[in-house]
Chains A and B, each alone.
Chain A
Amino acid sequence: MSLNMQPVTVNIGPHHPSTHGVFRMKVTFDGENIVDVEPVIGYLHRGTEKLAEERNYTQIITLTDRLDYVASMTNNQAYVLSCEKLVGLDVPDRGMYLRVIAAELQRVASHLIGIGFFLQDLGAFGTPLMYCFRERERILDLFEMLCGARITVSYMRIGGVFQDAPVDFWPALSRFMGDIPSYIDELDALISTNEIVLARTKGVSPLTGEQCINASITGPILRASGVEWDLRKAAPYDVYDRVAFDVVTLPEGDNYARYAVRLAEMRQSLRIIEQCVEQIEPGPVRATTNMLFRPPAGEAYVPIEAPKGELGFYIVSDGTVSPYRCKIRGPSFVNLTLLKEMMVGYKLADGIVSLGSLDFNVGEVDR
C-alpha cells in the first residue's frame, strides 16, 4: 500500500510559539521536506513612518524606540545620527562615548535574546533562554540607571545623549563587566560543543556570501557567510574609529555559524565598552540645539551597525519642525528576503531553527 502524498500547504503563525513575534509563513510540505515558503508580514504594522511625519524631531525619538523593541538604543542612535547630519552638528566627545557604551550594551542584550531563542527553537527546553535572560536583566538594570526606563529608553537626543550617567552607574558597569565574561563562557560551554547542537545546526541552511550580498543582507548573517563587512569599521560613526575591535566572520554560513558569530560579537562588544570606559573624559554630553529642532531643507541617511544589521533612517526635511519623510531601512525586513532559499529542501524542524537563526524582529519588519 502506498500512501498518496501530495504537497500540502500549512500556515505557521501568526500565533505560534516559535515565530518570533506575529509573523506568518505559508509552508508547503512534501512529507517532511519543505517545498515552498511564503512569508506574510504586516501583522505588527503601526504606521511609524506616517506618524513620524506629524511629530517633531524629538518626539520621533520615542517612536524609534519601538521599532526593534529588543534593541532600542541603536534605533535611537541611527535616528539622531541622521538628524545631526542634516544640520552638520558636532556632538561632544563624552556624549559620543556614552552613546557607544549604550549601543554596545544593547548589542550584547540583543544577541543574548537571539541566542536564547535560537536554542529554544532547537528544543533545549528553555534552560539557555533563562540564562540569557538573567544576564539581559542586568543590562536592563544598567539602562534604568542611565535613563529611567529599561526597554523603551529614549536615551539619545539630537546633539548627544539627554543626560549624563549618574554617579553610581560606573561602579555598576564595572561590576557587570567583571561578571559577564564568565557567563558568556558558561553559555559557550553549554552550547558550542554540544554534539546535539552541532548535529542539528552544522551544514543546515547555508547561505553563500554572494547570495547575501545580492539580497542586501547585512549584520551577523552576512558576517557568518564570510563577508567581512561591518559599518562600524567601513563607515565609522561616533567614536568607533577610536576603539580597537575585531570583525568576526566565519566562512560556512550555516545556522551554527550565525550563532557563533553572535557569541563572538558579544565578546567584542565587551572589549569596546572597556576601552570606552578608559577613554571617556568629563565634559558636556549634549550639543547646543534649539528646543524645537528645525533643520534646513535637505536629506540625510546615516546607516549604523545595529545588532540585527544595517539600520538607517532616510530623513527628508522641508524646513519645518517635522520631517517631510522618514523612511526606515529596517534590517530584519531585508534579512527575510532569502527565507525561501534557506528553508526549501530542508525539513520542518530545521526550517524553524533557521528562522530562529536569522534573529529578526517583527517590529522592524513591519514598522
Chain B
Amino acid sequence: MGDVLAENRIFSTVYTLVNDLVPDGWSWVAYLAAGMSIIMLVVNSLMIMATFYTWVERRLLGRFQSRLGPNRAGPFGLLQPIADLLKLLSKEDILPRSADRIIFNVAPVLMLAATLIVLAVVPFGRGSYIADLNIGILFVVAISGIGTFSIFMAGWASANKYAMFGSMRAIAALVSYEVPMVMSILSVVVLTGSMSMVDIAEGQALPFILVLPMAFMIFMVSISAELNRAPFDIVEAESELISGYNTEYSGMKFGTFFAAEFANVLVASAVIAVLFLQGWRWAVLPSHLWFLLKVGALAFVFIWIRATLPRLRIDQILGFAWKFLLPLSLINLVVAAVEVLSWPEQTALQQFYMALINWPVAIVSIVVFSKIVSKRQPVQPVVRVAVAQEVV
C-alpha cells in the first residue's frame, strides 16, 4: 500500500477488507479494489452533479428570464435530466461513412476523461484529496489541453467541412485563452510559492479574489472561453450556420459531449474555488460543505453570465484575448512578483497590503487598456469580391 493514500479512511478500510479475503501475494487486488472504490465515489458524484447541473441551469435561466424552467417531469422537474438521458440513449448512433472511425469514437470519451482526471488533484475538504502532486496546477492546465485536443479530433473525424471549420475556430479561441489563463495562475503560484493545489488552498490567508482581483477577472473570462460558455459560445451557437464540432454526433456520443461540457463547468468552478476562494477553508461549517457552497456559487455566476450577455464574434474573441487580456495578465504578474519580493511571508496583514495595491492597479490598467483597445478597433473591411460565375 503506497503511502500516498495511507491516511485516507475509505482507502484503508476497503484495502484491509479485501486484503483479508484474498490469498497472500495478491494484495494488488486489494489495492485495485480500494483505488476503484475511491474513483467510483469521486467520478459518480461528479457525473451526478453534472446531470443535475443541467437541471439547475435550466431552472435558473428560467428564473432570470422571468419564467419557470422545466417543472413537469417529476417533482420540480428533477427527473428532467433522466428524461433527456433516456431520449439520447434511444437515438440512433450514426457514423458517417467517410468519417475516421477510431478518432470519431474516441473524441467524446477523451473529452470526458480529460474532465474527470483533473479531479485527482483538487482538494475537496480538509485533508481530502486523491493525490497531492507538487505540480498540481500545472497538471490541471495540461489535462485541459487534452480536452481542447478532443474538440479538434471531433471536428476532423466528422468528414464534414463545416464541422471542421467550427472546430478550428474553437481551437483558435481555446488556444488563445490558454495564455492569459496560465499567466494569471502564475501570479497565484508566485504568491503561494508552490504549484500544489493543497498548498495553494492553505496558503491563502486572505482569499485571493480580494488580493488579486485582476487575476480573478482574467481567469474567469479565460475559463469561460475554455468552457465554450457565453459570451464565448460561438461553437454551439444556433444562429450560426457552421454548427461546430458536434454536428455529426448523435445519441449517446452527443450525450457524452454534453455531459462532459457541464462536468467541465463544475470542475472549473472547483479549480477556481481552490485557487481564489481559499478552497475548503473557513470556520463553523464542515470543510466539504464550504467547498460545495463555493462551487455552487461559482456555478451560479456562470449561469448568470450566460443569461445576460450576448455572443461575441470569433475575431472579437481572439482580439480580446491577445490585445486586452494578455497585457493585463503580464502587468498582474509583474506586480505580484514585486510584491512577493517585498513581503515574502504571506501573513494576512501582508496580503492585505498587497490587496490595497492591487485593486487600484487593476482599475487603472483596465481603464487604460480599454481606451487603447477601443481606439484601435479596426473598421469593418468592406470587401468587394467578384463573384465567380460558377459556384459550387
Contacts and interface: CB of A to CB of B under 8 A. Distances in A.
Interface of A: 6-10, 12, 17-18, 27-28, 30, 32-33, 35-36, 119-127, 130-131, 134, 190, 194, 196-197, 199-200, 203-204, 344-350, 352
Contacts of A347: 313, 315
A348 B240 contact: yes
Contacts of A197: 310
B387 A123 contact: no
B65 interface: yes
Nearest to A33: B383
Interface in B339-392: 377, 379-385, 387-388, 391-392
Contact of B310 (A27, A122, A345): A122
B59 interface: no
A210 B166 CA distance: 38
Given A8-B392, A121-B239, A204-B380, A127 B64 contact: yes
A200 B239 contact: no
Interface in B301-320: 306-316
Contact of A9 (B161, B242, B392): B392
Contacts of A6: 388, 391-392
A352 B234 CA distance: 14
A199 B230 CA distance: 15
A203 B316 CA distance: 14
A125 B241 contact: no
B231 A123 contact: yes
Interface in B228-256: 230-231, 233-234, 237-242
B373 to A, nearest CB: 10
B380 A203 contact: yes
B67 interface: yes
A125 B307 contact: yes
A70 B306 CA distance: 29
Given A196-B311, A200-B313, A345-B383, 18 more contacts: A6-B392, A7-B387, A8-B161, A8-B392, A17-B239, A18-B238, A28-B387, A36-B387, A119-B310, A123-B231, A125-B61, A125-B307, A127-B307, A134-B66, A196-B312, A204-B380, A348-B240, A352-B239
A280 B314 CA distance: 54
Given A196-B309, A200-B313, A123 B388 contact: no
B316 A199 contact: yes
A241 B133 CA distance: 79
A92 to B, nearest CB: 41
B66 A349 contact: no
21 contacts: A6-B391, A7-B392, A8-B161, A8-B391, A8-B392, A18-B239, A28-B387, A28-B391, A32-B314, A119-B310, A124-B311, A131-B66, A194-B309, A200-B310, A204-B380, A345-B381, A345-B382, A348-B241, A349-B234, A349-B311, A350-B313
Contacts of B388: 6-7
A199 B231 CA distance: 13
Contacts of B161: 8
Contact of B391 (A9, A131, A199, A350): A9
A119 B307 CA distance: 12
B370 to A, nearest CB: 9
Given A7-B391, A125-B230, A127-B64, A199 B239 contact: no
B306 A349 contact: no
Contacts of A120: 239
Contacts of B241: 10, 12, 27, 348
Contacts of A349: 234, 237, 239-240, 311, 313-314
Nearest to B379: A203
Contacts of B237: 123, 349
A28 B383 CA distance: 13
A350 B381 CA distance: 13
Given A123-B237, A350-B313, A130 B67 contact: yes
Contacts, number: 104
A127 B61 CA distance: 8
Contact of A196 (B238, B307, B310, B315): B310
- Which of B237, B240, B316, B391 lies at the interface centre, i.e. has the most chain A CB atoms within 10 A of its CB? B391
A123 B65 contact: no
A158 to B, nearest CB: 41
A334 to B, nearest CB: 24
Interface string B36-72: 0000000000000000000000000100111100000
Given A35-B387, A130-B66, A200 B380 contact: no
A120 B233 CA distance: 14
Contacts of B316: 199-200
- Which of A130, A204, A346 lies at the interface centre, i.e. has the most chain B CB atoms within 10 A of its CB? A130
Nearest to A126: B65
A332 to B, nearest CB: 20
A114 to B, nearest CB: 16
Contacts of A119: 310
B308 A123 contact: no
B65 A127 contact: yes
A120 B311 CA distance: 10
Contacts of A190: 308
A190 B64 CA distance: 13
A196 B380 CA distance: 16
B374 to A, nearest CB: 9
A359 to B, nearest CB: 16
B319 to A, nearest CB: 9
B120 to A, nearest CB: 33
Given A30-B385, A346-B380, A125 B306 contact: yes
Interface string B177-213: 0000000000000000000000000000000000000
Contacts of B308: 124, 127, 190
Nearest to B239: A18
Contact of B385 (A35, A346, A352): A35
Given A35-B385, A349-B240, A194 B310 contact: yes
A181 to B, nearest CB: 18
Given A121-B239, A130-B67, A345 B384 contact: yes
Contacts of A36: 387
B313 A124 contact: no
B392 A122 contact: no
B371 to A, nearest CB: 13
Contacts of B313: 200, 347, 349-350
Nearest to A122: B310
Contacts of B377: 199
Query: Would you list the 10 A-B pairs with minimal beta carbon distance, nearest first?
Result: A123-B311, A130-B65, A124-B310, A122-B310, A18-B239, A345-B382, A123-B310, A9-B391, A36-B387, A345-B383
A35 B238 CA distance: 22
Nearest to B391: A9
A345 B387 CA distance: 12
B239 A123 contact: yes
A324 B330 CA distance: 75
